[in-house]
Amino acid sequence: MYLGKPPRASFAQLRSFEAVARYGGITRAAQALHLTQPTVSTQLRELRESLGIELLVPAGRGVQLTDAGRALLVTVTRMFETWRGFEEDMADMQGLLSGSLRIAGVTTTEYFLAQWLKPFLQAYPGIQVDLVIDNRDAVIRRLEREQDDIAIMMMPPGHLPLDSLLVMDNPLCLIGPAQHPWASRKSTPLGKLASVDLLMREVGSGTRQATLEFLAEHQLTPRIRMTLGSNEAIKHAVAAGLGLAVVSRHALAKDASSEGLAVLAVSGMPIQRHWRAVWRKDRRLPRVATVFMQFLTNQLGK
C-alpha cells in the first residue's frame, strides 16, 4: 500500500511534459495531444513550480531536457507503462484482449511480418498494432528508449538487458543478376568475392554488419562500389548489373529470377543467421506481447 504523500503533479501535466519531451517542442506536443499551446505551456509551468526545479530549457526553435527533466522523463515513462499495464489487466479481466502491440522490425522483416501478424490480428480483433520498420541501429535506439514491446531482429545488441526468442532461420545469400556467369555454376570459391564490385546496405544496417564480419572472418576485403539504403534499392541495382550483394533470403521472391536476380552458390554461403524476437527483460512485458509470441511459436512451429 502506498503511504507517502500524494504526488505534486497531475496526470495531465505529466502527459504534456512527456509529449513535449518526445516531440522536442510545445507546438507539436500540443497538436499531438489536441490541446492548445497555452494549455500545454501552463501545465508545464505549474509542473515546474510545484516541483521547484527547471525541467526544460529553450534550444533553437524547441526545448531540451535538463538533468531533472531527463530523470522525470524516465519516471513518467515508467508510470505510463504501469498505467498501460493496469488498463490491459482490466481488459484481460473483462475477458477482452484489447490494447496495442508495439513492434519494431529491422528492414527485412517487412517482407514477412504481415504474414506473422495476419492470423494474430484475426484471432484478436480488439488489438491494434503499431509497427515501425527501420535498420538495426535505429531499432537498437528504440530498444534503448523502451519504445516498443518487441523488436524483431537478427543481431540483438549486447549492451541492453534483453530476453529473446529464436523464431526462424535467416540465411544471408549472395545475389547477382539472373544472367550472371556464377548463376549456372554449382559453386564458386569464396575468395572470388574479393575481386567483384559489392553493393552494401548503409552503415547501421545489420545485414551490412553481418556481411562485413563474415568477410573479415575469411580475411577478405570487400570492394564496396555503392552503398544503398534499402533492400529493394539493392535488389534493383544488382538486377541492373551494378554489382553483387548479400541480402536475407527473406528479402527475395521464392523464384528470385522473377525479380531479375539469381542466388549465387559460393562456398561457405549463405551466412547462417536467425531471426529473434527480443524484449527488455527489465520491464513488464505486456500481456498482448506474450500472447503474440505464443501465437508466433505455434504458427512457426507447425
Binding site for ligand PGA (CB under 6 A): 106-108, 135-136, 153-155, 201, 205-207
Q: What are residue 272's DSSP bridge partners?
A: 171
Smaller CB separation from ligand PGA, 110 or 197: 110
- For residue 10, the minimal CB distance to ligand PGA (Å) is 41
CA distance 121 to 109: 17
Rank residues 87 and 163 by Cβ distance to ligand PGA and give the closer one: 163
Name the DSSP letter for residue 259: G
What is the DSSP track for 54-84? --EEEETTEEEE-HHHHHHHHHHHHHHHHHH
Quote the least distance from Cβ 235 to ligand PGA, whole Å: 13
Q: How far is the CB of 224 from ligand PGA (least distance, A)?
A: 15
Closest distance of CB 207 from ligand PGA, Å: 3
Q: Judging by DSSP bridges, how do beta strands 197-201 and 244-248 pair with one another?
A: parallel
Q: Least distance to ligand PGA from the beta carbon of 134, Å?
A: 8
Nearer to ligand PGA, 102 or 208 (CB): 208
Of 135, 131, 134, residue with least CA distance to 150: 131
Q: Which residue, 65 or 153, is less far from ligand PGA as judged by CB?
A: 153
User: Torsion-angle region of residue 273: left (phi > 0), alpha (psi -120 to 50) or beta?
Assistant: beta
Give the whole-angstrom CA distance, residue 249 versus residue 162: 26
Q: Which residues pair with 169 in a beta bridge?
A: 274
Residues 6+ apart with CB under 8 A from 90: none
3-class secondary-structure state, position 224: strand
Choose between 16 and 207: whose C-beta lies nearer to ligand PGA.
207
In the complex with ligand PGA, the residue whose CB is nearer, 153 or 238, is: 153
CB of 152 to ligand PGA, least distance (A): 8
Structure-block grid coordinates of residue 282: 527489465
Q: Nearest to ligand PGA by Cβ — which residue?
A: 206
Closer CB to ligand PGA, 13 or 207, in the complex: 207
Coarse DSSP helix, strand, coil percentages of the chain, rounded to the nearest 5 percent? 45, 25, 30
**176 alpha-carbon distance from chain centroid:** 28
Q: How far is the CB of 104 from ligand PGA (least distance, A)?
A: 11
